[in-house]
Amino acid sequence: MRVLDTLTGRHLPLPLSDGPGGKELKLYVCGVTPYDSGHLGHAFTFCVFDVLVRWVESKGIPVRYVQNVTDVDDPLFARARRDGSSWQDLAKREEAAFVQDMTVLGWRAPDVMPRVSDEIQGIRAAAEGLSERGFAYSAADGSLYFEAARYPGFGQLSRRSRRSMLRKLREEELLGRVGPGAKRDWLDFPLWRPSGAGEPSWPSRFGPGRPGWHIECSAMSMRYLGEQVDIHGGGRDLIFSHHESERAQSESLTGCVPFARAWLHTGMVRHDGRKMSKSLGNLVVVKDTLRVASPAAVRLYLLSHRYRRDWEFRWPALARFERLVQRIRGMRGSGRSGSSLAEFRAALDADLDAPRAIRALRRAVASGDRRGVEDMLGILAGTAALKPAAG
C-alpha cells in the first residue's frame, strides 16, 4: 500500500513500526474539540481514517490508533461561557454525542481517546522540557512561548511563506500580541498560558494556567505512541497552524526526526458553496442525514469523495447511495466472481482510493457477487447498519 505524504508531496510505502509481535501501524489522528462536533466535516475525516484502520488490519497488520479529545481549548470555553454551562458538562455531553454518532456510523473505535484534562501532567512536562532545552521563553504576560525561529523547518509542512502563515494565524484568531511583556515574534505560540475567568487552571513552574493547543497533541501522541508515529492525520485546516507547530515542538523536544513518518490530511466539506461552519449556518449534522438514509449509505456517500479534496455536500447524491444500499439489501444468491474484489484491493492500496473502491463495489452488486460485496462493505461501511434507524 502507498500513501501520499503532505510534507514531501510524495507517495510513500505505508510506514510501519516494529511492534512486540511484528510490524504495526502507529496512528494518531487529531480528534474533536467537544463543543459542536457532530457535523459531516468531522464524520468525513473519521470515516476516512476508519477505512485506513480497517484496511490495514484486514492485511493482518495491527493498528495502534490514538485520537484525542481537545477538552481544554478556547472555542470550548467560549461556547460554555455563551451558554452559561460548565465547560466540563459541555465537553462531556458533546464527546458522548460524537462517540454515539461514530458508533452509528460503524467505526472501529480508537484504542485510546485521551482527554487533555486528564493528561495535564505529561503536557506540562513537555512544555518544561522545551523550556529546559532553550526552545521556549517566558514572557511577562504569564505565558511560555515556543520560539518558532529556533526550528529551521517551520512552514515546510504547510508550504506557507511567513506572510501566508501570519494571514492564517489572524484568521484563526491565534496571532496574539508581540512586544514588551508579550511574545517576541508573531509566529511564536504558547506552550503554557494563564487561564481566563471560568477556565480551568493548573499549577506549573511557569505560573498557574493551562496548556496551549499544539503541545497537547504532541504530549498525548508521545505518551501513547512514543516519540515517533507512522501516520499523523487530521483535517486539512489543521496543517497550519496546528500540525506545523506540533511538528516543530515535537522534533525540538525529542530530537527524533521525523516526528511523523507520513502526514495524511482530509479535505473540507462544503455546503451551499462554503465550508461548513456553525457561524455560517450551513452545518449538516450526522443526525440530519440519518433521518433520510441508512448509516451505511451515509458512510458510502462520504467515502465516494477522494479524501484529500474538498467537496460539496448534496442531498440528492446521498439519496443515490441510499438506493445503492437498498439494492445491496435485496441481493440474493452467493455468486463470487472475484475480479471486482481484486480491483477493490488495488484501489485502497493506491492511497486509499475509496471512490474507485466504491465503483468496484457497484460492479460487484451488478454482477450478484454477494460475498464480494460483504467483504467490501466490511471495510467501507464498517459495522454501519444497512437499514435506516427506526424513528
**Which residue number, 39 or 232, has a Cβ lying nearer to Zn ion?**
232
Q: What are phi and psi of 315, to 5 degrees?
A: -60, -45
- As measured in angstroms, the least distance from the Cβ of 211 to Zn ion is 12
**Which residue number, 25 or 30, has a Cβ lying nearer to Zn ion?**
30
**Which residue number, 248 or 373, has a Cβ lying nearer to Zn ion?**
248
| Contacts for 269 with CB less than 8 Å, ≥ 6 apart | 39, 40, 41, 44, 275, 276, 310, 311, 312, 313
- As measured in angstroms, the least distance from the Cβ of 180 to Zn ion is 31
Residue 65 CA to residue 47 CA, distance in Å, equals 13
- As measured in angstroms, the least distance from the Cβ of 213 to Zn ion is 8
- As measured in angstroms, the least distance from the Cβ of 55 to Zn ion is 23
Residue 232 CA to residue 334 CA, distance in Å, equals 40
Among residues 13, 15, 27, the alpha carbon closest in space to that of 233 is found at 27
**Which residue number, 238 or 381, has a Cβ lying nearer to Zn ion?**
238
DSSP structure class, residue 257:
S
**Which residue number, 183 or 247, has a Cβ lying nearer to Zn ion?**
247
Residue 354 CA to residue 347 CA, distance in Å, equals 7
Strand 260-266 versus strand 229-235 pairing type = parallel
H or E stretch at 3:
strand 2-4
Q: What SS3 state is found at 67?
A: strand
**Cell, residue 113:** 481517546
**Which residue number, 131 or 221, has a Cβ lying nearer to Zn ion?**
221
- As measured in angstroms, the least distance from the Cβ of 232 to Zn ion is 9
- What's the chain's Rg over C-alpha atoms? 22
- As measured in angstroms, the least distance from the Cβ of 247 to Zn ion is 11
Positions touching Zn ion (CB under 5 A) are: 30, 217
